[in-house]
Amino acid sequence: MIGVYGGTFNPVHYGHLRTALEVKELFELEQLRLIPCRLPPHRDEPDVPAHLRLQMLEAAVADTHGFNVDRRELDRAGPSYMVDTLHSLRAEIDNTPLLLFIGADAFAGLERWHQWQRLFDYAHIVVMTRPGYAGLALSAFLQQRIAEDRTQLSRQTAGLLTFQEVTALAISATAIRELVASGRDPQFLMPDRVIELIRRHHLYQPPTHHTGN
């Protein structure tokens, strides 16, 4: 099975990396593709150039076996619709089961995603939850897709929905950007290599401190 973990990764942090590793192990994935999005359709455009978000992500997982940074959304014009991403990925992997991992927060807005029902033509969806997750009232469309167990996901290529609890680390990219902007130290929230890139390129500085490097 191949996993897809999308995000803005602005910047990547241990909240992403820890959950990514946990799901890779739990679902025994051959490969987990981390896919930074180019133009997030549901949020403001990040002020950090895409190539630097990509570079930070590559630095973060350089030594992690089975993690691949996939730049297809950055190379594609227009907004990053997940349905297009899964469609292009499916064409490359034939009948290998594909798992799309999304956080419970993103899942709450799934039915507003572009052509969201078609996501299930190409992949299963795994919702990553935190301990105590109360669940949502699911539409009939989603309800009927719930997988009986994890083994069912490996027996069909796409079309199922499941929920997986992961370790909750209260880290967010927003909080990291604010912390760096106020001159505080982001050490232990993200890999040192990512912090080095933030320093080298003066990322997340308030406009008055920006040197333009």
Residues in contact with ligand ATP by CB under 6 A are 7-10, 15-16, 19, 102-103, 105-106, 169, 171-174
Q: What is the spatial distance between Cα 201 and Cα 135, in angstroms, rounded to a whole number? A: 41
- Provide, rounded to whole angstroms, the least separation between the CB of residue 26 and ligand ATP: 14
Contact of 33 with 1, CB cutoff 8 Å: no
- Provide, rounded to whole angstroms, the least separation between the CB of residue 212 and ligand ATP: 23
Contact of 169 with 203, CB cutoff 8 Å: no
Closer by beta carbon to ligand ATP, 120 or else 204:
204
- Provide, rounded to whole angstroms, the least separation between the CB of residue 130 and ligand ATP: 7
Contact of 114 with 41, CB cutoff 8 Å: yes
The residue among 154, 158, 203, 172 whose CA lies nearest residue 19 is 172
The residue among 30, 66, 43 whose CA lies nearest residue 173 is 43
Closer by beta carbon to ligand ATP, 131 or else 212:
131
- Provide, rounded to whole angstroms, the least separation between the CB of residue 173 and ligand ATP: 3
> What stretches of 62-196 adopt beta strand conformation (E)?
67-69, 98-103, 124-129, 161-165
3-state secondary structure of 135: coil
Give, as one character, the DSSP assignment of residue 45: P
Closer by beta carbon to ligand ATP, 144 or else 175:
175
What is the number of the residue whose Cβ is closest to ligand ATP? Answer: 103
Closer by beta carbon to ligand ATP, 156 or else 188:
188
Closer by beta carbon to ligand ATP, 174 or else 182:
174
- Provide, rounded to whole angstroms, the least separation between the CB of residue 213 and ligand ATP: 23
